[in-house]
Each structure stands twice: as C-alpha cells, then as structure tokens.
Structure 1
Amino acid sequence: MAQMPIRIPSFDEQRKIGTFFKRIDETIALHQRELELLKQTKKAFLQKMFV
C-alpha cells in the first residue's frame, strides 16, 4: 500500500468531538427514558379504561 498521509485531529478537536458524541448519547438516553414513561402512562390509562 502506498504511503498516504493520515490527518489526525488536534487534541482540542478530539475533545470537542468527544463532547459532541457524549451530548448526543445523553440526549438519546433522555428520550429513551421519556419514551418509557410515556409507554407506562399509556399502559396505565388503557388498564383504567378496560377494567
């Protein structure tokens, strides 16, 4: 394989990329918890409707 230069982001840029993905992960986790609560609420309402 020919010698190809590989660009490696600076440490500061790597940290910013890491922070970006961490925030995305946190947002996804938040929405997953919210979805689970909504599903539980739906289930509770359905149980009350069809006793």
Structure 2
Amino acid sequence: FKTRLFIPTLPEQEAIGSFFSDLDQLITLHQRQLDHLKLLKKALLQQMFI
C-alpha cells in the first residue's frame, strides 16, 4: 500500500523550529520561577515554626 508523507517547506520548517525554541525558553523560565517559589515557600514555612 502507498503512504503519502507531507513535508513542510523550508520556511515552514524554520518557523516550526523557531516556535519550539521559543517554547523551550518559556518552559525554562517558568521552571526557574517555580524553583524560586518552592525555595520561598520552604523558607516561609520554616519561619512559621521557629
């Protein structure tokens, strides 16, 4: 049987690559913010029980 395969044009491939790169940077930024908030939470909880 035959299978058709769609391959995006080079500009589309570059746009998709750029989108995923931007998305990866956004995920990294949010992970850093989450890590910071977890540390803040830990510090505040420790202060509550001193």
Q: TM-score range by the shorter chain?
A: 0.7 to 0.9
Match of 1:32 in 2: 31
* Structure 2 gap segments, 5+ residues each: none
Q: How many residues align?
A: 50
Taking only the aligned residue pairs, the percentage that are identical comes to: 48
Q: Could you tell me the TM-score, scaled by structure 2's length? A: 0.86
List alignment gaps of at least 5 residues for structure 1: none
2:22 maps to what in 1?
23
Deviation >6 Å, runs of 4+: none
User: Residues of 2 paired with 1:5 and 1:39: CA distance?
Assistant: 48
RMSD: 1.0
Paired letter, 1:16:
A
SS of residue in 2 equivalent to 1:5: coil
TM-score by length of structure 1 reads 0.85
